[in-house]
């Protein structure tokens, strides 16, 4: 069943954003905290991708672009070495690109590589991520600010009106730009 009430998907995004922003990874519970970071990010981006399939998001949110920094792959990535990102990617070479929200969601949901990164004070800086398809080309770094922007933008987006039409070829509803 598709999402009928988006509130149940959006409110947890706002809670996750607040938790991730306040987070300090330190002490004896570090492993437990990192597991929760992974869960919050994966479930959060899954929720966003599910919401993208509904009409419960405004067109401006649906087309939101996020800045992603990436480094090129220099060795083949496989199951046995995926954790060795410093050997597999040239982290000294970085490029920046704008990607849409669906692309970012898929990097997390289909991640072959996922490595949270923290600042010296234990705060979450962001995460290295590469999907199963992208892993032998690029390793993306998604800054926490970009993650928070995605979670909060989607979490606060409750459109009050939409303009749709049925596509004659596919017979599916689609948004019409005003």
Tokens matching residue 107: 């990097």
Q: Give the model confidence (pLDDT) of 88-121 as tens digits.
A: 999 999 999 999 999 999 999 999 999 999 999 9
Q: Give the model confidence (pLDDT) of 21-70 as tens digits.
A: 999 988 778 999 999 999 999 999 999 999 998 888 998 999 999 999 99
Does 24 fall in a domain?
A: yes
- Domain span at 47: 7-155
DSSP 3-state assignment of 109? helix
pLDDT of residue 178: 62
Task: Supply the DSSP string of 9-49, one letter for each residue.
Answer: HHHHHHHHHHHHHH-B--GGGHHHHHHHHHHHHHHHHHHHH
How many domains does the chain divide into?
A: 1
Does 122 fall in a domain?
A: yes
Q: Give the model confidence (pLDDT) of 1-15 as tens digits.
A: 467 889 999 999 999
This prediction has a pTM of 0.91
Does 178 fall in a domain?
A: no
pLDDT of residue 55: 80
Does 163 fall in a domain?
A: no
Phi, psi values for residue 127, rounded to 5°: -150, 140
């Amino acid at each position: 069943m598709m999402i009928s009430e988006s509130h149940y998907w959006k409110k947890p995004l706002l809670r996750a954003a607040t938790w991730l922003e306040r987070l300090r990874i330190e002490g004896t519970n570090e492993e437990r905290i990192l597991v929760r970071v992974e869960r919050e990010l994966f479930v959060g981006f899954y929720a966003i991708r599910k919401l993208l399939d509904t009409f419960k998001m405004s067109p401006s949110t649906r087309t939101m672009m996020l800045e992603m920094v990436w480094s090129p792959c220099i060795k083949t990535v496989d199951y046995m070495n995926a954790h060795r990102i410093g050997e597999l990617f040239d982290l000294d070479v970085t490029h920046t690109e704008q990607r849409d929200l669906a692309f970012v969601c898929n990097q997390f949901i289909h991640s072959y590589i996922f490595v949270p990164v923290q600042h010296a004070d234990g705060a979450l800086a962001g995460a290295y991520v590469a999907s199963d398809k992208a892993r032998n080309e690029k390793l993306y770094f998604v800054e926490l600010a970009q993650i928070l922007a995605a979670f909060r933008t989607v979490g606060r987006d409750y459109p009050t009106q939409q303009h749709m039409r049925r596509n004659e070829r596919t017979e599916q509803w689609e948004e019409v730009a005003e």
